[in-house]
Structure formats: structure tokens, C-alpha cells
């Protein structure tokens, strides 16, 4: 598994890693392509995922700061990047030639701060926010805690994710699609009228069951497309 959301790697570097996997006779590469700190795959239907969601502003005190020694503590710098669909297809083919399947990961319902910076209408508060930087949980970060979860009460969140997953499935032939699924902060869901209404309508006991509802709904969508959810 490689997380290219927090730390972006070029396609050339990924090919080197694929070569190493082949050398060690490993046959699956889990490509963690989205998280709070950046969205890394071109989506034709949602261009802001990459024009906005792939770029974050790093500040003093963050893990990814200080790699450029010309910076002083007042400077910020823009960190990011993404892969075109063509590049992703190229890597899938490169891996397949080496008997390696690439399992793509598109995180949900948490760890989605970058998406919600690009398309705030899918969060509970629907308020604009910057892409979280790698100082998300750092005491030097003056920004308020960002939205990280899709609104589970808004059907548009699911329609958006289905569109995204259709594009993902068109690139990756893997039988498994990874959806992350961990570490969902329930604070926003508890305060959201739409999420609370969903819980009532679906007779869900609490926000943990709402998380399960979210995952199961996406699992059913993947199954109707002959894919399996892994989380
Ligand atoms: Zn909500």
C-alpha cells in the first residue's frame, strides 16, 4: 500500500515500486489515492477534484514543511499533484505486465477533506474550506477543524460517489475497490438535520449505524457493477 495523498509520488517512481513488488513476487498494489490532504486522480465529471482538491497550502509546523530549506516560518507553499486517467491506465498496464493487480482506494465517508474543499455541497455544513494540510492535527495550525465526512443524509453525496466510482472502475479492472471506511468523526453528523433524518427514516440507532448504512449502500452499488468492496 502506498499513500500518494499525503505524499505525492511521480508515475516514474511508482513504476520503480511496481518493479520492486514484482522482484519480491508480490501481486497486489493498493493505491491509496485520496485522503484529507489531497485528491490524486483526474475525474472527467468533477474537474475541481484535481484543480482544487489536489493542492494544499503547507504551513510551518506541518510534517511536509521544511523540505525546502529556503522557506522561513512565515512562508507557505503549495504542495500536491495528480495523475491523469491516461497515466493511471498506463500504470495499470505496466503492473499487469508484471502480474500485479492495482487496487485503487477512494476514501469514504471520512478522510474526505480534499473533496469537500472542492465540492463543499457534499459536506454537512456545506461551508467552503481549504484543502487540509499535513498540519491537520498540529497545534500550529490556526484553521478550524475542517469537514472530513460526506453528508450521509444527502443523496447527492451518493450520486457523486457513484459517478466517481464509475470512472474509477473504467480505469481499474481490479475485482476489488477499496473505500477506506475508517476513522469517521461523528460530530458533524450529530449536528446535521439531514443526517439525523436519514437515521430516523432508516431506523438507525446511532451515528455508527449511519456509517454502516453508508458503507453498505456503496457496497451494493459496487456489487451491481460486479465489483467487491474492500475496506
Ligand atoms: Zn449531514
pLDDT bin (cut points 50, 70, 90) of residue 60 is confident
Helices (H), 75-206: 85-97, 113-118, 155-171, 187-191, 193-201
What global pTM score does this model have?
A: 0.93
User: What average pLDDT does range 8-19 have in this prediction?
Assistant: 97
Catalytic residues: 35, 111, 183
Cell of 37: 490532504
Smallest Cα–Cα separation from 124: which of 110, 134, 137? 110
Place of cell 453528523: 189
pLDDT band at 143 (very low <50, low <70, confident <90, very high): low
Average pLDDT of the chain, as a whole number: 93
Summarised one tens digit per residue, pLDDT across range 174-215 is 999 999 999 999 999 999 999 999 999 999 999 999 999 999
* Centre of ligand 1 from the C-alpha of residue 208, in Å: 13
In the prediction, which pLDDT does 21 show?
98
Q: Please give the distance, rounded to the nearest whole angstrom, from the Cα atom of residue 194 to the centre of ligand 1.
A: 5
- Going from the Cα of 138 to the center of ligand 1, the distance in angstroms, rounded, reads 26
Q: In the prediction, which pLDDT does 78 show?
A: 87
| Ligand 1 mean position, distance from CA 190 (Å) | 8
> Which pLDDT band, with edges at 50, 70 and 90, does 68 fall under?
low
pLDDT tens, position by position, 213-225:
999 999 999 999 9
Ligand 1 centroid to Cα of residue 25, in Å, is 44
Q: What is the pLDDT of residues 25-55, one digit of tens each?
A: 999 999 999 999 999 999 999 999 999 999 9
Q: How far is the CA of 131 from the centre of ligand 1 (A)?
A: 19
Please report the pLDDT score of residue 76 as a whole number. 79
Q: How far apart are CA 143 and CA 220, in angstroms?
A: 37
Amino acid at each position: 500500500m502506498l499513500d500518494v495523498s499525503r505524499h505525492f509520488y511521480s508515475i516514474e517512481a511508482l513504476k520503480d515500486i511496481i518493479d520492486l513488488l514484482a522482484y519480491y513476487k508480490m501481486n497486489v498494489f493498493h493505491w491509496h489515492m485520496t485522503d484529507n490532504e489531497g485528491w490524486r486522480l483526474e475525474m472527467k465529471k468533477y474537474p475541481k477534484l484535481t484543480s482544487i482538491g489536489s493542492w494544499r497550502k503547507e504551513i510551518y509546523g506541518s510534517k511536509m514543511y521544511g523540505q525546502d530549506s529556503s522557506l522561513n516560518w512565515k512562508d507557505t507553499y503549495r504542495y500536491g499533484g495528480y495523475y491523469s486517467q491516461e497515466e493511471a491506465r498506463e500504470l495499470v498496464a505496466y503492473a499487469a505486465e508484471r502480474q500485479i493487480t492495482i487496487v485503487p482506494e477512494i476514501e469514504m465517508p471520512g478522510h474526505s477533506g480534499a473533496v469537500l474543499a472542492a465540492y463543499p455541497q457534499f459536506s454537512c455544513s456545506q461551508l467552503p474550506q481549504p484543502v487540509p494540510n499535513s498540519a491537520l492535527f498540529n497545534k500550529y495550525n490556526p484553521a478550524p477543524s475542517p469537514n472530513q465526512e460526506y453528508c450521509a443524509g444527502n443523496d447527492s453525496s451518493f450520486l457523486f460517489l457513484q459517478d466517481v466510482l464509475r470512472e474509477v472502475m473504467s480505469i481499474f479492472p481490479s475485482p476489488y475497490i477499496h473505500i477506506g471506511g475508517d476513522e469517521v468523526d461523528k460530530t458533524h453528523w450529530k449536528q446535521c438535520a439531514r443526517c439525523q433524518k436519514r437515521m430516523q427514516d432508516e431506523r438507525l440507532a446511532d451515528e455508527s449505524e449511519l456509517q454502516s448504512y453508508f458503507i453498505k449502500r456503496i457496497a451494493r452499488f459496487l456489487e451491481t457493477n460486479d465489483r467487491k468492496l474492500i475496506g
